[in-house]
Amino acid sequence: MIKFLDLQKINAQYATELKKVAAEVIDSGWFLLGEQVKQFEANLVAFQEGGNAVAVANGLDALRLIFKAYIELGVMEEGDEVIVPANTYIASVLAITDNKLVPVLVEPDFDTYNLDLNLIESKITSKTKAIMVVHLYGSVCWSEELEILAKKYNLQLIEDNAQAIGARWKGIRTGDLGDAAGFSFYPGKNLGALGDSGAVTTKDPELAKAIRTLANYGSSQKYVNQYQGLNSRMDEMQAAFLNVKLRYVDVETMRRQEIAKYYIAHIKNDKILLPSEGKVGEHVWHLFVIRSTNRDELQAYLQENQIQTLIHYPIPLHKQECYISMSDISLPITELIHEEVLSLPISPVMTQEDVEKVVEVLNSYTAV
């Protein structure tokens, strides 16, 4: 079986180093708000080539804390609107609604599956305070027009960078493009911890400070509470693991890009729609998402042929039970994408033989 993502194999590459740093953390007797986290934040700032980084408990919290901080700083208030893609993982939108802000869902572009930037301006109202872009599947969603629009209407630009660490737009890392960005280090992400963790990056030191305080009970001085905060801290163990793994992100990204290039050049089947390769560096291939009108049948066929695939995502968020109030919104492109997408295995530990097998099986697929 070619696994969708072999986490055991991915982490086995670094097992010696991971075990060594785990032992160091255990021996240190210090598990939160310590040197490993401080070091990780410095390493992330170096990786991002500038800015501020705050390590937090997970990617959802990273995004939640950005909005929470903007509310505390008086930039946003309950009931304000945030423009967000309808085609995303639900966490992007949970971060908005958790803060009693209103998500305004916008359809994706058929070529990139990312937010259609041309549709944004018509969605802006007097209540709009931010645009959240999601670099979905690892593909950069950004443009100069977007920056101009944000300036014109005085909107914050927030990046959900959970899937795109390491990508660049015109040489700039995602996570540095907007006013603030949320990262996830969920084990299956391109930089995965051995548990949950996340981070916020921002050029704004005041925002970074508010987020750091909010993530620690709203307190920056022990037992003195400035805000009604959360407990959302990255622990020392995860930071230690991430300090090891961050060094390999760019190399692993290159392997993902190689596999994507190979898939795009060699998968030839008129029943299958391939993703576009995009500009160099603008896609880090967290996911390699194809489309087929016979998606479920194709998935079963691949499974029979020992290739594991996943669907990102099977149910659009406006059709989820928790967002029943949004169920009447017309989002035909988003809905069609959810019916047709299928994610192929793409991971830095796939062998060339695995990659060739995936191509061969897909090329011999004939829809019934």
Ligand X SMILES: *Cc1c(COP(=O)(O)O)cnc(C)c1O
Min dist. Cβ of residue 88 to ligand X (A): 6
| Four-CA torsion 88, 94, 100, 101, nearest 10 degrees | -20
Cα separation of 183 and 348, whole Å? 20
Q: Is 60 in the site for ligand X (CB under 6 A)?
A: yes
Cα separation of 302 and 112, whole Å? 24
Tell which one of 59, 178, 316, 348 touches ligand X (CB under 6 A): 59
* Lookup: tokens for 35: 């040197």
Min dist. Cβ of residue 87 to ligand X (A): 10
Q: Which is nearer to ligand X, 311 or 361 (CB)?
A: 311
At position 119, the amino acid (one-letter code) is L
| Residue closest to ligand X, measured at CB | 59
Q: Which is nearer to ligand X, 101 or 362 (CB)?
A: 101
Q: Is 198 in the site for ligand X (CB under 6 A)?
A: yes
Q: Which is nearer to ligand X, 85 or 218 (CB)?
A: 85
Binding mask 237-276 for ligand X (x = CB under 6 A): ----------------------------------------
Q: Which is nearer to ligand X, 260 or 362 (CB)?
A: 260
Q: Under a CB-based contact definition with an 8 Å cutoff, are residues 284 and 257 in contact? A: yes
Cα separation of 228 and 54, whole Å? 18
Q: Which is nearer to ligand X, 174 or 272 (CB)?
A: 174
Q: Which residue has the tokens 């005041």?
A: 206
Name the one range near ligand X by CB under 6 A: 52-60, 147-155, 166-174, 239-247: 52-60
Min dist. Cβ of residue 114 to ligand X (A): 11
CB under 8 Å, gap of 24 or more: what pairs does 350-359 form? 350/2, 350/259, 354/2, 355/259, 355/262, 355/263, 357/2, 357/306, 357/307, 358/2, 358/263, 358/307, 359/262, 359/263, 359/266, 359/267
- The yes-or-no answer on residue 20 being catalytic is no
H or E stretch including 266? helix 249-266
Angle at 56 between CA 53 and CA 61, to 5 degrees: 115
Q: Under a CB-based contact definition with an 8 Å cutoff, are residues 148 and 175 in contact? A: no
Min dist. Cβ of residue 101 to ligand X (A): 16
Q: Under a CB-based contact definition with an 8 Å cutoff, are residues 310 and 343 in contact? A: yes
Min dist. Cβ of residue 134 to ligand X (A): 5
Binding mask 126-165 for ligand X (x = CB under 6 A): --------x-------------------------x-xx--
Q: Is 58 in the site for ligand X (CB under 6 A)?
A: yes
Q: Which is nearer to ligand X, 5 or 355 (CB)?
A: 5
Angle at 76 between CA 73 and CA 77, to 5 degrees: 105
At position 168, the amino acid (one-letter code) is R
Binding mask 81-120 for ligand X (x = CB under 6 A): -------xx-xx----------------------------
Q: Which is nearer to ligand X, 11 or 220 (CB)?
A: 11
Which of positions 6-25 make contact with ligand X (CB under 6 A)? Answer: none
Min dist. Cβ of residue 156 to ligand X (A): 17
Q: In sequence order, what E strands does the chain have? A: 52-56, 81-85, 102-106, 128-134, 156-160, 168-169, 172-173, 180-184, 198-202, 219-221, 224-225, 288-291, 341-344
Q: Which of 189, 203, 268, 319 is catalytic?
A: 189
Min dist. Cβ of residue 137 to ligand X (A): 9
Residue 100 φ/ψ region, left for φ over 0, alpha for ψ in the -120 to 50 degree band, beta for the rest:
left
Question: Given the rule CB under 6 A, which residues bind ligand X?
Answer: 58-60, 88-89, 91-92, 134, 160, 162-163, 184, 186, 196, 198
Just list the catalytic residues.
Answer: 189
